[in-house]
Amino acid sequence: MKSTINYIAEIFRAIWSLLTGMKVTAKYFFTPWNNVTQQYPENRDTLVMFDRFRGEVIMPHNENNEHKCTGCGICEINCPNGSIEIISKSIVNEEGKKKRIIDQHIYHLAMCTFCNLCVKTCPSEAIVMGQKFEHAYWNRTSMTKVLNQPGSKIMEGIKE
């Protein structure tokens, strides 16, 4: 008799525990205004990712095709798996001093872990994380990108 009562009490405790856990699920099921699911392929044109999203590394340029990258290589050094490669060249300016400028700022998207260390350590804030998230490519070579645009130069007033 006592074991039967304990058995029935255990069943009621299990049902109560199940209902307690399902309370959160039921709340989201019956409140559609709290919807966080994106209808992805249909809303591709209007989809905006949240601010902290890390899509890919980009180098912003202004309307005069100028960027802030000095070619110091700190982002390349701090990248844990070598997804950033900076190819720089030396030029001689008007005063006869040698100056290093970037020739290519190469970003290997296939190797990137999106850790954001390159962006955090850049002293001139030349690179940022972009919002693009569609990275399906047929060819792996398409995942290697040159961040600086052709013919771009460094902005005036950037400390080298």
Please state, for a pLDDT cut of 70, what percent of the chain lies above it: 96
| β-bridge mates for residue 89, sequence order | 101
Q: Dump pLDDT digits (tens) for 107-149.
A: 999 999 999 999 999 999 999 999 888 888 899 999 999 999 9
Mean pLDDT for the stretch of residues 12-32: 87
Assigned token pair, 138:
């047929």
Q: What secondary structure does DSSP assign to 103-148, as a single string?
A: EEEEEEGGG-----HHHHH-TT---EE--------SSGGGGEEE-S
Q: Quickly count helices (H) and strands (E) in the chain.
A: 3, 7
For the chain, give the mean pLDDT.
88
**pLDDT confidence bin for 90, thresholds 50/70/90:** confident
pLDDT of 151 over the 70 cut:
yes
